[in-house]
Amino acid sequence: MLSRRRFLAAIPAAGLAAGCAGTRPLRVAVVWSGDELRRFLTVARDYPHRTVTVYSAGDNIAALLRGPSTEVAPDVAVIPRLGMLYEPGIRAGIRPLEDPPPQPEFWRRLVSPVPGRVLGAWFKIAHKSLVWHRDDHGLPLPETLDAWTRPRGTLSIGAADGWMLSDWFENVLLARSPGTYPGLGSQAELWGSAEVAEALELLAAVWQAGMTAEQGRRALTLQFHDSILDVFTYRTADLVAAPDFAWPVIARYGAAGVTAAHFRFPAASAAAGPPLVVGGDVALALNAGDPDAAAFVTWLTGPERPAALEAWAGEGGFLAPHIPPEVSPPGLRGPAGELVQARNARYDLSDRLTGPLAGGDGRGLWLILTDLFTAATVTRERPAAAAAAAAARLVATARKGAA
């Protein structure tokens, strides 16, 4: 198994300075490491007006933006969770964009918590309703969610990354109850609804049908990239639900002769449409930073994109509202077009949550779903019982945040 550390070590190292000499460098904080950080550095080097210094704040980026010190505050931050825009302590430090770049209305609304004030622009977006498989495998693919409760091939799930489990939950809930999904970020009482309980039970049933107890135990130690390798390199599993940025891992580490294919996450019924869960990274200019920060955000996310950004998109693993779908590799052009159009799309729920349910490994929604996964796959509890326990914990946790 290729561990995360070995995976990142296999990618060429990159320095943290970009650009040419000039005045004080523009400081840009990001959350990425490894290949994403290296690719972003190549983009930042193209900025023609200032030297740019890029540093990875990792999981501490929220704390960095909440912090009182202006001496170490970045001028620009690229944040991975939209919910951070809704935290008063962070939102107060964001400088609204006076002349924001043109982006589709769906995406613009997401970064405008207050009408008329655009707080950021989308640098990168993600399609989170894809299921990947080997094209020549002859697998009987599930046409509906209920059909997936019967075996349709072995699942691979990187359950050590809690966001992969929350992506599963969000797709199942959005497919089953599109009316309930949008309110969960702000209405704590909805966590106790029958719709949430039913989605949890269906999710547990799908996981249980797709994995043995031993496979479930192993999945708890797998991260995102390992789950991709299980399907396309080691061929020990048949299906993996993963965003579009699975593509670079497949392209780099897939076994010889293996062709990747994907389908949309199944709908609740043959008459219903499939869910579309989306995510992404938002670029922000900060009040405590340099006045030129907004110009950098506009350059980074506008239609006149740097050559290095287009090259990144052309290799796959990078989709954005300001990059035409035809720039992407052929296998990703369909998902790229779906993201730009964003018909009936809903933003990643766990990335919108604040308070006790906010995502993070070992806490909140991610922890509760990890325990549900364990109950369904490892201890083989009845899906209804496992779902009832998870629903009760979700309600109790949501009430703590509302108190």
- The percentage of the chain sitting over the pLDDT mark of 90, rounded to a whole number, equals 76
pLDDT confidence of residue 3: 39
Q: If you average pLDDT over every residue of the chain, what do you get? A: 90
Region class of 377: left (phi > 0), else alpha (psi between -120 and 50), else beta: alpha
Residues 359, 365: Cα–Cα separation, whole Å? 6
Lowest mean pLDDT among 205-214, 302-311, 386-395: 302-311
Res. 22 pLDDT band, cuts 50 70 90? low
pLDDT (tens digit per residue) in 290-337 = 989 999 999 999 988 889 999 999 999 899 999 999 999 999 999 999
Which domains, from first to last, does the chain contain?
Answer: 11-126+278-346 (3.40.190.10), 130-275+353-402 (3.40.190.10)
pLDDT confidence of residue 7: 33
pLDDT confidence of residue 63: 87
pLDDT (tens digit per residue) in 87-145 = 888 999 999 999 999 999 999 999 998 888 999 999 999 999 999 999 987 888 899 99
Say whether pLDDT at 70 is over 80.
no
